[in-house]
Amino acid sequence: MITIVIAEDQALIRAALATMLNLEDDLEVIGQAADCRAALDTVLAGTPDILLLDVQMPDGGLGVDDGLEIVPMVREAAPSTRVIVLTTFGRPGYLRRALEAGASGFLVKDTPANRLVEGIRRVARGLRVVDPELAAASLSLGVSPLSPKEALVLATSSGGASAAEIAATVHLSEGTVRNYLSSAIGKLAARNRAEALQIATENGWL
């Protein structure tokens, strides 16, 4: 029996996945979680074979930005649990981040049910499962051109924050913030900060 924990913040999707997977003779959902902290706690409590993990979930007070940040935590705390990222956001940058963090699979939520089930079985056998279209796109896209600080400053600029507000949030001077923003805009060949933020977000680099 392959045991599974589902981490998904939308209750209807979470319940539907659990119902579907429990119909399989060799799969059993042993836990569900609606945020990142609950996902980590549920994995530690049950040590499932598979964690199905959404990308964009509340942190639950864990202090992370998204589900991808708990992948290495899971791999360290429960080495026998393999992670499959299952997300609405089929972005090449997310795929690269997930695999670099230690995930064994990356699928989008419109994946056919039979492919998801077979993907779980393959990952449980120690194989890797990746959406083929995303894999090709990720290879052509390459790694993020942004440095960690450029990505941080650009992400913090979301919502139209001023340089002063960004500086206070990330503990840098206003001049340094402006330099990082300018550099990020140039690297992304964007016309302005808003366009740079959009490009980086769509590619999963933030």
Give me the CATH number covering residue 51. 3.40.50.2300
Point out the domain boundary residue: 92, 118, 140: 140
List the one residue out of 205, 206, 157, 198 whose CA is nearest residue 180.
157
Spatial neighbors of 137 by CB under 8 A, at least 6 apart, are 92
Q: Cα–Cα distance between 68 and 182 in angstroms, integer?
A: 27
Alpha helices in 69-112 (DSSP H): 71-77, 92-101
Spatial neighbors of 145 by CB under 8 A, at least 6 apart, are 187, 188, 205
Strand partners, 2: 27
What DSSP line would sit under 79-114, residue for residue? TT-EEEEEES---HHHHHHHHHHT-SEEEETTS-HH
Which pLDDT belongs to residue 178? 93
Report yes or no on whether pTM surpasses 0.75: no
Give me the CATH number covering residue 173. 1.10.10.10
The single residue listed with the structure tokens 């836990």 is 31
CA-based radius of gyration for the chain: 18
User: Looking at the 3D structure of the chain, how many domains does it have?
Assistant: 2
Q: Are residues 55 and 129 in the same domain?
A: yes
The vertex-123 CA angle with 90 and 8, nearest 5°, equals: 50
Q: Are residues 127 and 43 in the same domain?
A: yes
Q: Are residues 61 and 153 in the same domain?
A: no
* Exposed/middle/buried for residue 69 (C-beta within 10 Å: 0-12, 13-18, 19+): middle
Q: Are residues 136 and 157 in the same domain?
A: no
Q: Are residues 39 and 128 in the same domain?
A: yes
Domain region containing 133: 2-140
* 8 A C-beta contact, residue 19 and residue 6: no
Which pLDDT belongs to residue 100? 86
Q: Cα–Cα distance between 139 and 61 in angstroms, integer?
A: 34
Q: Are residues 119 and 35 in the same domain?
A: yes
The single residue listed with the structure tokens 């090449």 is 92
Point out the domain boundary residue: 140, 167, 194: 140
Q: Are residues 132 and 44 in the same domain?
A: yes
Q: Are residues 16 and 117 in the same domain?
A: yes
Point out the domain boundary residue: 89, 124, 140: 140
Task: Note down pLDDT in tens along the chain; length 206 residues.
Answer: 999 999 999 999 999 999 999 999 999 999 999 999 999 999 999 999 999 999 989 999 998 989 999 999 999 999 999 999 998 877 777 887 888 899 999 998 888 999 999 999 999 999 999 887 666 555 556 678 889 899 899 989 988 889 999 999 999 999 999 999 999 999 998 999 999 998 888 777 87
Which pLDDT belongs to residue 94? 81
Tokens of 45: 């409590």
Which pLDDT belongs to residue 133? 67
Which pLDDT belongs to residue 108? 87
Q: Are residues 135 and 173 in the same domain?
A: no
